[in-house]
Structure 1
Amino acid sequence: MRDWIDVELVKLLRQNARQSLAELARRLKMAGPSVSERLKRLEESGAVSGYTATVNPEAWGYTLTALVRLRPFPGQLKTLEARLIATPQVIECDKVTGEDCFIARLALHHIQELDEILDGLSELASTASSIVKSSPVQRRLPPLQPRD
């Protein structure tokens, strides 16, 4: 069972995963051991599965983001999936229903890099790509609510 305290704890961690247990306890108006136990329970249940730093790709020279829809050629689904996993510029990829089987998000230094990657995928799938102009909604959590 997750209650409002669990929801608030996860929200605080999403804001800053480096907060100390003491700081989390202070902000939740709880004792440190209680917060520690809740966090351990959330981790063990899989509700919280990791802590990470948010990185600005532009600060690392990735000035372009592309979305690529991929429709594998017959018999190439597993090979294409493996190639996408092995391509480091693919920063996210979803297997989807519909005409396309994959939608991949790529971080790129320059437009020529997109051509190089698509050339390497062209033997496995047909592709359609779009350059991202902006991302008004960044990856975020769905609304969290207590549950039974």
Structure 2
Amino acid sequence: MTETLDATDWAILTELQRDGRVAYTELARRVNLSASATKERVRRLEETGVITGYRAEVDPERVGYGVLAVVRLKYPGTRHEPLRRLLGERPEILECLRTTGDDCYVLKVAATSMGHLEELVDALADFGSTTTNLVFSRTLSLRGPSEPGPRER
């Protein structure tokens, strides 16, 4: 799909990643298109799966989840359904990536306290060995991809 994205598509994606609630008229102004052309491009980006959804970003600390951690999990075996079930049951697991290397999974978790984090890590340890790193600060918040530069193409 990357080959079919032009500079205007990338501009739309950049603006929507900054503010997913921007009105079509304002988005159109920012990317130098008419509102109807902009709306059609956004619709196409949604239909082709480039845009997968819209969501509110919530500050975990402001809603009582002041402990942020990264948990790496070595998962022996091949039955991953029990872990997937736990992921669905535990909203404090914010993200889970299946990876290569020594660790099978890397999880970003938010907890209300160190005790809560300990209980969550204990639940994950039922699936294999864990390594937990506390997050002091977010140097770079989650962001989406941007238009590749000449070196990246």
Report the AA paired with residue 40 of structure 1. R
Q: 2:27, 2:53 → 1: CA distance?
A: 17
1:78 matches 2:107: no
Alignment RMSD, CA only? 1.8
Q: Which runs of 5+ in 2 are unaligned?
A: none
Match of 1:92 among 82, 95, 98: 95
Deviation per CA, 1:27-86, whole angstroms, max 9, x where unpaired?
222211111111111111111111111111111011110111111244654323432342
Q: Give 1:14-93 correspondences, 5 Å limit.
A: 14-74=17-77, 77-93=80-96
One-letter amino acid matched to 1:141: G
1:104-142 residue CA offsets vs partner (Å, 9 max, x unmatched): 110111100011112223332111111011121211123
TM-score (norm 2): 0.86
Task: Give 1:24's aligned amino acid.
Answer: L
Q: Which amino acid aligns with 1:126?
A: S
For 1:103, the aligned partner's letter is V
Which 5+ residue runs of structure 1 have no aligned equivalent? none
Higher relative contact order (CA 8 A, sep 6+): 1
| 2-structure distance, mates of 1:52, 1:74 | 34
Could you tell me how far apart the structure 1 residues matched to 2:11 and 2:19 are?
12
Code of the aligned partner of 1:56: D
Runs of 4+ off more than 6 Å: none
Is this contact kept in 2: 1:95–1:101, CA < 8 A? Answer: yes
Matched letter for residue 10 of structure 1: L
